[in-house]
């Protein structure tokens, strides 16, 4: 979502303020740092980045801070880094023109409604188009700072989404990547009192009607809202890519309750194993938090049990990081950091074994790979329908094309292969 916010900022500044992009910070009149605050580490990094660019920048150049850490720290950023020119929150991206033209501009209003704002158009990669379908999040997971930095959830009107997808597809994007904190809750609430009578499965179907669109991906769905209608459209619509991100967070129903996730271990397993049964080639990725307050060895074993049963193709696992403004940060039973690290290591070791097994089975398999970029190594990179990263030799004329690739060297994180036609 930050990548897309950055694209919106670039587009607004280019079309309304005549800025152009530069790779060299020494040439820049404006240095913009877009930030995350979901864990503590990136917040620390912000201040070292500001210091780094302050030293490097040319005289008179401005530094602006955007994103979730801007929303969260606000005024404090000016206090800790007086050379910052403006602080613009994650829900105030559309005000970027005002921010660059106002001395010490601060805007971190999380009630601001920019769900129907028609942003100018810029894309880092024209072959794969990110399209926002909602802003904010209306869940209250007890560990998560996002509802405090991005505000309440509002769906973006369907016409805006379809028009954007149509335009991106006409400009070369055969893949549309839908973004939102809880995409499968789409349509629950729009700006003001509008009701568009549409839910996420219907949105998927409507986007798939755009002729030039060949692939649709999305992130993140919430396991709680993975009802049968959603799974049915996911399974049956041929343009919807068969890879699902299912953020587990914990495999222990006790911990899930304390996290206020709204589902149990059994519900999660039921949904994931149903997908595996209906679509043997589906890939499932997940997010896991290790060491949430009160996590016992038994709770951790429940997480490991889900990991072993589902055999995720990818896991984003993090040690719990207490965040300000969240309920869990006040919970009395915080876990010793060393215990958290040891559990994280154990999870990663088991996952490595699972991945070795999964990738071994991919030798000599043939995939339809949509080529989306050239890596610095010179290899072309793309994804199979079920999201495996595949790298091949080839030239730039293949960008934006789908090719058949035979896997000759499957590795844990990427599959290397040869184009067969
Ligand atoms: N500590 C660790 N990980 C967190 N996440 C969200 N909040 C925290 C936190 N306080 C993780 C969740 C989420 C992902 C984007 O970041 O797993 O799905
Ligand atoms: Fe955070 Fe939970 Fe919302 Fe995801 S669903 S953004 S984890 S509050």
Q: Looking at the CA of 326, name the nearest ligand.
A: 1
3-state helix/strand/coil string of 106-146 = EECCCCCCCCCCCCCCCCCCCCEEEEECEECCCCCCCCCCH
* Residue among 71, 139, 220 whose CB has most ligand 2 atoms within 8 A, to mutate: 139
Whether 144 is in the pocket of ligand 2, judged by its Cβ within 6 Å, is yes
Distance 288 CA to ligand 2 centre (A): 13
Give the nearest ligand 1 atom to 316 CA.
Answer: 17
Question: According to the model, what pLDDT value does residue 43 have?
Answer: 87
Instruction: Give a yes or no: residue 99 inside a domain.
Output: yes
pTM assigned to the model: 0.96
Whether residue 116 lies inside any domain: the answer is no
CA 98 to chain centre: 27
Distance 139 CA to ligand 2 centre (A): 6
- Given ligand 2 and candidates 68, 181, 326, which is best to mutate, with the most ligand atoms within 8 Å of its CB? 181
**How far, in Å, from the CA of 143 to the mean position of ligand 2?**
9
Instruction: Mark which of 193, 226, 241 sits at the end of a domain.
Output: 241
The domain containing residue 143 runs over which residues?
Answer: 123-241
Query: Considering 241, 273, 303, which residue would you say is the last residue of a domain?
Result: 241
Flag whether 393 is in a domain.
yes
Inform me whether the pLDDT recorded for 189 exceeds 80: yes
Domain check: are 32 and 93 in the same one? yes
pLDDT over 90 at 413, yes or no: no
Residue 193 is predicted with a pLDDT of: 74
* Bridge partners, 318 (sequence order): 289
**Average pLDDT of the residues in 320-336:** 97
**Residues 252 and 172 both lie in one domain:** no
Q: Is residue 114 part of a domain?
A: no
Residue 261 Cα: closest atom of ligand 2: 2
Asked if residue 260 and residue 223 are part of one domain, the reply reads: no
Closest residue CA from atom 2 of ligand 2 = 141
Structure tokens given for 193: 């009192």
Q: Whose CA is nearest to atom 18 of ligand 1?
A: 287
- Quick one: three-class SS letters along the chain? CHHHHHHHHHHHHHHHHCCCCCCCHHHCCEEEEEECCCCHHHHHHHHHHHHHHHHHCCCCCEEEEEEHHHHHHCHHHHHHCCCCCEEEECCCHHHHHHHHHCCCEEECCCCCCCCCCCCCCCCCCCCEEEEECEECCCCCCCCCCHHHHHCCCEECCHHHHHHHHHHHHHCCCCEEEEECCCHHHCCCCECCCCCCCCCHHHHHHHHHCCCCCCEEEEECCCHHHCCHHHHHHHHHCCCECCEEECCCECCCHHHHHHHCCCCCHHHHHHHHHHHHHHCCCCEEEEEEEECCCCCCHHHHHHHHHHHHHHCCCEEEEEECCCCCCCCHHHCCCCCCHHHHHHHHHHHHHHHHHHHHHHHHCCCCCEEEEEEEEECCCCCEEEEECCCCEEEECCCHHHCCCEEEEEEEEECCCCEEEEECC
Question: Are 232 and 319 part of one and the same domain?
Answer: no
The per-residue pLDDT for 294 is 98
356 and 255 in a common domain: yes
Q: Which atom of ligand 1 is nearest to the CA of 143?
A: 10
Q: How far apart are CA 269 and CA 132, in angstroms?
A: 28
- 182 CA distance to ligand 2 middle (Å): 8
CATH code where residue 201 lies: 3.30.750.210
Examine the domain organization and report whether 67 and 143 are in the same domain: no
Pocket of ligand 2 contains residue 137 by CB under 6 Å? yes
- The rounded Å distance from CA 220 to ligand 1 centre is 13
Same domain, 146 and 229: yes
Is 316 found in the same domain as 229?
no
Q: What is the pLDDT of residue 402?
A: 97
- Please indicate whether residue 181, judged by its CB atom, sits closer than 6 Å to ligand 2: yes
State pLDDT tens for residues 303-312.
999 999 999 9
Judged by its nearest atom, the ligand closest to the C-alpha of residue 223 is 2
The ligand 2 atom at the shortest distance from the C-alpha of residue 38 is 1
Domain finish residue from 187, 220, 241: 241
144 alpha carbon, distance to own chain's centre: 15
Q: What is the pLDDT of residues 62-93, one digit of tens each?
A: 999 999 999 999 999 999 999 999 999 999 99
The pLDDT, as a whole number, for residue 147 is 97
Are 11 and 61 in the same domain?
Answer: yes
Residue 129 token pair: 């188009």
Which residues does ligand 1 sit against, CB inside 6 Å? 38-39, 143-144, 247, 249, 287, 289, 318, 320-321, 323
Give domain status of residue 115, yes or no: no
pLDDT band at residue 378 under the 50/70/90 scheme: very high
Mean pLDDT calculated for residue range 215-231: 97
Cα(53)–Cα(39) distance, rounded to whole angstroms? 22
Same domain, 218 and 200: yes
Residue 187 resides in a domain? yes
Which CATH number fits the domain that encloses residue 25? 3.40.50.12160
Q: Which of 2, 40, 143, 330 to mutate to test the pocket of ligand 1 (most atoms within 8 A of CB)?
A: 143
> 90-128: b or e for each residue (b if 16 or more CB lie within 10 Å)?
bbbbbbbeebbeeeebbbbebebbbbebebeebbebebb
CATH number at 256 reads 3.30.750.200
- 241-276 pLDDT, tens digit per residue, is 999 999 999 999 999 999 999 999 999 999 999 999
What's the 247 CA to ligand 2 centre distance in angstroms? 10
Q: What is the mean pLDDT of residues 105-130?
A: 96
Structural domain contains residue 11: yes
Count of the separate structural domains present in the chain: 4
- Same structural domain, 40 and 26: yes
Query: What is the average pLDDT score of the chain?
Result: 97
pLDDT at residue 421 in the model:
78
Closest ligand to residue 249's CA? 1
Which residue(s) pair with 288 in the sheet? 249, 317
CA of residue 173 to ligand 2 center, whole Å: 29
- Same domain? 144 vs 235: yes
Nearest residue (CA) to ligand 2, atom 4:
181
Q: Is 275 in the pocket of ligand 2 (CB under 6 A)?
A: no
pLDDT digit string, tens, across residues 273-304: 999 999 999 999 999 999 999 999 999 999 99
Kindly report, residue by residue over 23-47, the tens digit of the pLDDT.
999 999 999 999 999 999 888 899 9
Q: Does a structural domain hold residue 200?
A: yes
- pLDDT, mean of residues 109-122: 96
Q: What is the CATH number of the domain that holds 416?
A: 2.40.50.140
């Amino acid at each position: 979502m930050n990548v897309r916010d950055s694209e919106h900022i670039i587009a607004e500044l280019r079309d309304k303020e005549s800025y152009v992009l530069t790779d060299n910070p020494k040439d820049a009149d404006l240095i913009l740092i877009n930030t995350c605050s979901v864990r503590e580490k990136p917040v620390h990094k912000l201040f070292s980045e500001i210091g780094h660019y302050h030293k490097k920048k040319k005289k008179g150049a401005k530094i602006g801070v955007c994103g979730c850490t801007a929303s969260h720290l606000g005024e404090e950023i000016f206090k800790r880094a007086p050379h910052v020119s403006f602080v613009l929150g994650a829900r105030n991206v559309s005000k970027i023109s005002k921010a660059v033209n106002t001395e010490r501009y601060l805007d971190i209003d999380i009630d601001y409604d920019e769900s129907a704002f028609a942003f100018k158009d810029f894309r880092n990669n024209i072959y794969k188009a990110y399209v926002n379908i909602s802003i904010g999040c209306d869940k209250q997971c007890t560990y998560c700072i996002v509802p405090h930095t991005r505000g309440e959830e509002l769906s973006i009107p369907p016409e805006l989404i379809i028009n954007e997808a149509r335009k991106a597809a006409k400009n070369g994007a055969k893949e549309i990547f839908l973004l939102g904190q809880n995409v499968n809750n789409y349509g629950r609430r729009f700006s003001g009192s509008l009701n568009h009578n549409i839910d996420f499965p219907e949105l998927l179907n409507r986007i798939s009607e755009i002729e030039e669109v060949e692939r649709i991906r999305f992130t993140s769905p919430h396991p709680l809202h993975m009802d049968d209608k959603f799974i049915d459209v996911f399974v049956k619509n041929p343009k919807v890519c068969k890879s699902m991100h299912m953020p587990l967070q914990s495999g222990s129903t006790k911990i899930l309750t304390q996290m206020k996730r709204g589902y149990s271990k059994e519900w999660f397993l039921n949904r994931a194993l149903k997908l595996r049964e209906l679509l043997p080639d589906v890939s499932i990725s997940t997010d896991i938090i290790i060491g949430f307050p009160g996590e016992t060895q038994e709770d951790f074993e429940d997480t490991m049990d889900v990991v072993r049963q589902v055999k995720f193709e990818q896991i984003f696992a993090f040690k719990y990081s207490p965040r300000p403004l969240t309920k869990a940060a006040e919970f009395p039973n915080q876990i010793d950091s060393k215990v958290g690290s040891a559990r994280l290591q154990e999870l990663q070791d088991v996952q490595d074994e699972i991945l070795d097994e999964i990738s071994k089975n991919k030798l000599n398999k043939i995939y339809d790979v949509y080529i989306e970029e050239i890596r610095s190594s010179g290899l072309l990179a793309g994804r199979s329908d079920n999201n495996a990263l595949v790298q091949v030799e080839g030239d730039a004329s293949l960008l934006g094309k789908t090719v058949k690739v035979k896997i000759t060297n499957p590795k844990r994180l990427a599959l290397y292969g040869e184009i067969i036609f």
